[in-house]
Structure 1
Amino acid sequence: MSTGVRGTASTTAVATIVLIVLTALALRTPFTAVAPLLEGIQRDLGVSTTFGGVLTTLPVVCLGVFAFVAPRLRQRFGDERVLLGCLVVLLVGNSVRALGPAWTLLAGTVVVGAGIAVANVAVPGLIKRDFAERVPVLTAVHTVCMTLGGALAASLVVPVGRALDSAWRLPLGLVAVPVLVALLIGAAVLRGRPRAAAAPATGSAVLWRVPLAWQVTAFMGTQSSMAYVVFGWLPTMVQARGLSPAAAGFALGVQAAVQAVGSLAVPLLCRRFRDQRGIAVALAALIALGFAGVLLAPAPGGVWTAVVLLGVAQGAAFGLAVTLFGLRSPDSSTTAALSGMAQGAGYLLAAAGPLLIGLLRDLTGGWTAPLVLLLGICAAMAVAGLLAGRPVQLDRSARDASA
């Protein structure tokens, strides 16, 4: 390869990594910013606890519904243009939901969820396309940036709101700022680059008949269900254990921040263990222990320890789930198709988690029944991990299924 070709390839790789990092930093902030502000939103708009439950669950539903359209957009426009388009959608949605009454908050949340859903599906395909030999490492970079962005949002929105004397509108609206920065820098980095070819089509419908694809989907859905229980209910859980509202928001920020530690561990573990079954089961057990500690351990020390444990384990579980898209696929198109299926069906499954936790909390008036449900989801996650973690790929599974 000539020096000029190598230089062009290197520049392209750097530009792709910059786009992945900038997009990731903006993808989780719209979700983690809401839970610490939820009490102020309900009080200011005069809405019910049910509305709060809908507000925290709606993004997860959007992640499921809109994930199904992402592979088609990727095939038509290419990964880079899709990701820049997602940032535009995020900018609009973040701005709209902070402007007006309850309906604009919900409408903006739908727009935000759509942008994040499509980006979530496109990124694994982009990583598989340009970094096929380094899927765990680049996936870790992506997930670490997501968790750090989410942690900053969760930790800062309440102090920023107090400093600006705004219950929720200004701090929620300011979440659009990092999205705008990511959009401007991302567009500048990609300016002048030749337009990447649109992704080739893949027989994504076949995946719905392949057991391995469903096993990856089940692992994605169960770990996501518990993640969104944390996003929606962790502040309420720790306040029930005696922490203040500000400390509860900080706890969510800490939980999100330490997810980076778990995400960084995934490529090291995947490099050492070609078979991911043991990793998946261990993470399910640690998440179960974390939830039990949050609700049962002595406060405040035991609760804070459990928050940290929960964050590390969930960061690793999310990183492993996303990494499985590439490890179980032979090429980037199959990765994107599997990502669309697993995130579409998985997030729709995950949406039931926060709703069921709220329902059980209202029906029983305590946290025992919700904890039992969470432990059951952890058990289901372990079973899914035992199946999805096997060192096989979808091409062989598809041939076996049709044989």
Structure 2
Amino acid sequence: MSSTRVEPAPTRPKGTAAVATIVLIVLVAVALRPPFTAVAPLLERIQHDLGVSTTFSGVLTTLPVVCLGVFAFLAPTLRQRFGDEKVLVGCLVVLLVGNLLRAVGSVWALLLGTVVVGAGIAVANVALPGLIKRDFPHNVPVITAAYTMCLTLGGAVAASIVVPLGDALGSTWQAPLGLLAAPVLVALVISAFALRHSSGAAPQPSRPGRLWRSPLAWQVTVFMGLQSAMAYVVFGWLPTMVTSRGMGPEVAGLALGVQAAVQAVGSMTVPLFIKRTRDQRWIAAVLAVLIALGFAGILLGPAPTGVWAATVLLGYAQGGAFALALTLFGLRSPDSDTTAALSGMAQGGGYLIAAVGPLLIGFAYDVTGNWTVPLALLVACCAGWLWAGALAGRPREVVSVRGSTRP
């Protein structure tokens, strides 16, 4: 058995470099979710203003997930050439351009801008876990918790303010989407200063394709994909689920915001359990049960009290599930280059899986006219996620893409 390759000590930042790296992680994380979460509350206005169909709205909400899957495969190559920090700052530039494009106001600018922001977010999603593993190899759960909390809070705030912001500015949707470029610009300026003090360690030559022959890598990919599928079902269908229980559209929008905010709590607390154990199977099992209970409570529980309780439960569990999925990239990898490669494979394949989730649930709901079959599909998805977690949560590591071998 060959020894596990570890990170060379000089690449681990200390003092100012460590702070600069954390600042970079936080700023990028805050900027990643708003371009996606801000669209859903504005969909009706976009559809009315542009005169597009409901099908176009479905494409607009599904396209970002597909972009997350497709462009994630490019990230390992980009970080090999430019390094993690430069790639992340480059992603902020791409996000800035994409947000401004979407504010132009035409159908094609909106679609093109969505693809551009999707590309930037996809690459950043992959690069960040590798950077965390490289510079904080002994604190992966803690730093990942901070990262996921910033992701969640950034998305929740954006979803909450875009409609009142548009009303205040007298703009239906262009100005709110365009103003999403403002925090990205701030993050870009500050990140440029943070970049000067970061460790800037270069990735080592690697062969990411080796992971495609690893059963464990595929287990992590399925785990990520099913978790993301359920998350995007919530993003797309939770308001409809809530209104089907006799609650008003304003309440439904509030429920989505509450669910997103509670996710931050789950994304911060679940990694504390992850840090204390080498085996994450039991954590995945508990979260799978809680997610299933959350969906069941929203669709079957007494309204409104039971629906609100289930919404909070679902938000907490999904926040924890997202944090667990991202943390596994570092825990199942022997070094940062392998973490980035596993992140690229799992997020690339995982988000392509996730894109099917909302479409399948929507199709089942349209055909049956009720939530019985969709709920059965969601429970089955939870069961599949539990199975994937039972495999991916074992204390093992994938083969290093740097060239080391394992039996």
Question: What range describes the TM-score normalised by the shorter chain of this pair?
Answer: over 0.9
How many residue pairs get aligned? The number is: 398
CA gap 1:19/1:296 in 2 versus in 1, 3 angstroms: same
1:329-387 deviations in Å (ceiling 9; x for gaps): 00000000000000000110111001112222222222222222111111110000000
- More deviation, 367-376/215-224: 367-376
CA gap 1:308/1:346 in 2 versus in 1, 3 angstroms: same
Unaligned 5+ runs, structure 1 = none
Alpha-carbon distance between aligned partners in 2 of 1:71 and 1:36, rounded to the nearest angstrom: 33
Identity fraction in percent:
70
Report the 3-state secondary structure (helix = DSSP H, G, I; strand = E; otherwise coil) of the residue aligned with 1:266.
helix
Contact kept? 2:13, 2:199, Cα under 8 Å: no
1:211-261 deviations in Å (ceiling 9; x for gaps): 100011110000000111111222222233233333323222211111111
Q: Give matches, 1:337-356, under 5 Å.
A: 337-356=341-360
Query: Which residue identity lines up with residue 340 of structure 1 in the other structure?
Result: G
Alpha-carbon distance between aligned partners in 2 of 1:102 and 1:136, rounded to the nearest angstrom: 41
Contact kept? 1:62, 1:117, Cα under 8 Å: yes
Q: Give matches, 1:255-266, under 5 Å.
A: 255-266=259-270
Query: Which residue identity lines up with residue 141 of structure 1 in the other structure?
Result: A
Task: Report how far residue 79 of structure 1 moved.
Answer: 0.5
Contact kept? 1:292, 1:371, Cα under 8 Å: yes
- Of residues 312, 316, 322, the one that matches 1:312 is 316
1:302 corresponds in structure 2 to 306
Task: Report how far residue 117 of structure 1 moved.
Answer: 0.3
CA gap 1:311/1:367 in 2 versus in 1, 3 angstroms: same
1:69 corresponds in structure 2 to 74
1:17 corresponds in structure 2 to 22
Find out whether 1:326 has 2:330 as its counterpart.
Answer: yes
Alpha-carbon distance between aligned partners in 2 of 1:14 and 1:163, rounded to the nearest angstrom: 37
CA gap 1:56/1:166 in 2 versus in 1, 3 angstroms: same
- Of residues 38, 56, 59, the one that matches 2:43 is 38
Task: Report how far residue 83 of structure 1 moved.
Answer: 0.4
Unaligned 5+ runs, structure 2 = 1-9
- Of residues 196, 199, 203, the one that matches 2:203 is 199
Contact kept? 2:207, 2:401, Cα under 8 Å: no
- Of residues 241, 246, 255, the one that matches 1:251 is 255
1:188 corresponds in structure 2 to 193
Q: Give matches, 1:80-229, under 5 Å.
A: 80-191=85-196, 193=197, 196-229=200-233
1:292 corresponds in structure 2 to 296
Query: Which residue identity lines up with residue 18 of structure 2 in the other structure?
Result: A
Contact kept? 2:228, 2:354, Cα under 8 Å: yes
Query: Which residue identity lines up with residue 266 of structure 1 in the other structure?
Result: V
- More deviation, 68-77/353-362: 353-362
TM-score normalised by the chain length of structure 2: 0.93
Find out whether 1:238 has 2:242 as its counterpart.
Answer: yes
Alpha-carbon distance between aligned partners in 2 of 1:121 and 1:62, rounded to the nearest angstrom: 13
Alpha-carbon distance between aligned partners in 2 of 1:146 and 1:266, rounded to the nearest angstrom: 15
Alpha-carbon distance between aligned partners in 2 of 1:140 and 1:391, rounded to the nearest angstrom: 19
CA gap 1:45/1:365 in 2 versus in 1, 3 angstroms: farther
RMSD across aligned C-alpha pairs, in angstroms? 2.3
Query: Which residue identity lines up with residue 57 of structure 1 in the other structure?
Result: T
Query: Which residue identity lines up with residue 351 of structure 1 in the other structure?
Result: A
Task: Report how far residue 154 of structure 1 moved.
Answer: 1.3
Query: Which residue identity lines up with residue 149 of structure 2 in the other structure?
Result: V
Alpha-carbon distance between aligned partners in 2 of 1:396 and 1:153, rounded to the nearest angstrom: 38
Query: Which residue identity lines up with residue 93 of structure 2 in the other structure?
Result: V
2:398 corresponds in structure 1 to 394
TM-score normalised by the chain length of structure 1: 0.94
Alpha-carbon distance between aligned partners in 2 of 1:316 and 1:121, rounded to the nearest angstrom: 19
Find out whether 1:29 has 2:43 as its counterpart.
Answer: no
Contact kept? 1:158, 1:246, Cα under 8 Å: no
Find out whether 1:58 has 2:63 as its counterpart.
Answer: yes
Task: Report how far residue 186 of structure 1 moved.
Answer: 1.0
Alpha-carbon distance between aligned partners in 2 of 1:241 and 1:128, rounded to the nearest angstrom: 44
Task: Report how far residue 77 of structure 1 moved.
Answer: 0.4
Contact kept? 1:259, 1:316, Cα under 8 Å: yes
Task: Report how far residue 104 of structure 1 moved.
Answer: 1.6
Contact kept? 1:210, 1:398, Cα under 8 Å: no
Contact kept? 1:71, 1:337, Cα under 8 Å: yes
Contact kept? 2:207, 2:403, Cα under 8 Å: no
CA gap 1:270/1:328 in 2 versus in 1, 3 angstroms: same
CA gap 1:175/1:8 in 2 versus in 1, 3 angstroms: closer
Task: Report how far residue 63 of structure 1 moved.
Answer: 0.4
Q: Which runs of 4+ in 1 moved over 4 A?
A: 396-403
Alpha-carbon distance between aligned partners in 2 of 1:115 and 1:400, rounded to the nearest angstrom: 31
